[in-house]
Structure 1
Amino acid sequence: MDRIYLDANATTSVLPEVVEAMRPFWSETFGNPSSAHHAGQRARSAVDHARTSIARLLGCSAKEIVFTSGGTESDNLALDGVLTPYLDKRQPAHLLTTEIEHHAVLYTAQALRRRGAEVTYLAPTSNGIIDPEAFEAALRPDTELVSIMFANNETGAIQPIGKLARIAKAYNPAILFHTDAVQAAGKLSIDLTGALKNVDLLSISGHKMYAPQGTGILFVRSGVHVAPLLHGGPQERQRRAGTENVPGIVALGRAAELAQSWLASDAPGELAALRDKLEAGLLAAVPNTHVNGSTEHRSPNTTNLRFDNVDAEALLIALDMQGIAASFGAACQSGATEPSHVLLAMGLSPAEARSSLRLSLSRLTTAAEIDRALAIIPAAVARLRSLA
């Protein structure tokens, strides 16, 4: 059976070019980047090259890139690293975030709250986007940090990050602004010296952009201090101790180079057209089907659809048996009995959230696969409805 992978927001395959780039660093060039000898310095050169490639993708300085193990660690380092110094001194610390963040942010916010931080959670509008006026009204004199996701992992909805960061800085230039860009990097243009010049911290994860799992970065703007989560060696300018994952870092650097070329081509529009074909075809073929979230401001690969009177978990199982991989929420929440917190925050009922399916395409998705999906999914929905 030829399988159709429509769960790219959970993880992507590692591109062949990325595999080739990292291959020598498993065995041939295995030195520790902190070592002074030739082998170590070859590894250091590779890490530096990758850092520069990622900086080019994000429009920032290479020295502002901190390598991590992935998006979760980057989010933790951003929130905990900014607010811990205040909490250690028992000073007021207010975090402003949203109800639709990834759990890497939400659970970190909960942990900080238990330690004494005050946290405000903004609700989105029904289209999954944060209202700038509501955001401005929630800012406080003691707000130290804002953390708002760039593109939502479940709906693809894109937040007006540049505008929100400008509002925060106009209210108080000392406020630090973090965005979880895990679902944006490699899909959307990111310019930290242009439209996002007021963003201070930004997280990305390698396995969402065709690099291996276990790699990521946190952008830390020059002059911003984050207290380290890990203590040990002086790596990453003393912001993240531990011997660098050289193969993973090399892979992420190569993936960034490929992403930069992909973004500069017609490919993002072509991917969005494939997504739109899938979405329009399902809306036409399956009665009582609805799109969750904004259709105007969203990442080019994602659609979240609600099939009335269908249990999404049952639909996922049926589709998997026919060779289609999809999702009904964040991969890290797979198996959870609770409906999507993102969809609930947007105003859907628990029953509506449980009947919703996320379909996320990759750069490798083909038109033929979309045609096959359009034949399989409507039949599966009809079969489940007939059994209800």
Structure 2
Amino acid sequence: MILKITKLITASYSLKYLFIILAFSFQSAFSQTENKSYFFGHSLVNHSADQSTQNRSNIPDWMFLLAQQAGSDYSVDGQFNFLPLQELPAIYQWGFIDAPSARTNETNNDFGSWDYDNVIVTLANFIQQTSTPSQNAFCDQEYVEDCNEDPNALSSVEAVLRILDYSRDEEPGINFYIYENWPEFNGTFPPVSQTEEEQEFGAFYDYTRGEFHDWWITLQDEVLATRPDANVKLIPVGPILSDLFSDNGILSEIAATTLYEDSAPHGYPVLYFLTALIHYSAIYGEQPPLNFQFPDADLPAPIRIPDIVKNNYPSIVNFIWNSLQEYTFSNGESRVFLENQILSVDDLSIHTPKPIIYPNPGNGVFNLELSDAMVFPIDIKIVNTIGQLIYEVSITDHQSANINLDKKGTFFLKIIGDQYSDIVKLIVK
């Protein structure tokens, strides 16, 4: 493979595109350093069954470890049920291996006295194919054939509003997040062949970022239409994970049985870790620490995070951060980030358009074009699908470099600089 680095002269580019690429340099000034969260959740938030095994199959433990290594505070409480059935006033059911409770007095169950910064809610992942957000999805068993006949049934919108109104009454101005999870898997699990896995999970990921995602967008829109003055944001986990796991994703080589343990699908710690990276980015308004030290080196698989995730961790973090910038309303406002986490064009002092790499896929010869505005030096690294370093070079100016790799397959080209980082999947035919 020969990779040629040339100069790119760019006359203009969209401000939205510019913001997506440049947010890395400014994020820390807008992030929060303390966070008290309350989850109204279920097993796609907390699936840990045995803490004695250090099975961190939950979001809060990973959130705490990420915040701790970033020098921030994190504490959390929560309760378990489907959202229409969550108890109010809130109760305190959950405890974790690492993450501490926000309550310093366990006899005090007054929700409003603990100054929560955020409330996070999520819905069941099997109702999206049978109901819209405004249709009744949960009802008493006697009305199961037609939930709309149940006078006490709630739609998903009503279930969210119930928790939102309670939270705002207890803590006015509280930030409110809807956690978009991933859907139930209706295929064969575990897959009986590689071909079956590729086909069925390919369809699964397409649905997750398609109709399933559209359902959550509608939910957020309808909640905000009813409570336009509320801080209601979306944490779009499902579609971002789908992009990571799909054919062109950074983690496309990871097996489904490494991620999921059943067809619900509940996951192993790796799935909740990746989910926590998205939650952390959205709630703290910054990237998770790029030098994160994993606590599970001595733990067995599947409790230990797989090497492919650890080896590609900085690239995963960057991909998630870039992806979150894309979720906006029609007026350009972020669906994810709070207003004080959003940068205006006036805040930007660096103008670095994204590098162009072509042809990709290719036969081994790629052109990498860098902008005049690129700040040098930058490091170019090529790794294989399990994170092994194949080639690296440091670029000090707009020079050309030849990289020879006499192999076919999938590789990742990493571009790393003081004010810019990116990753591109390369396919050599």
TM-score (norm 1): 0.29
Larger fraction in strand: 2
Higher helix residue share: 1
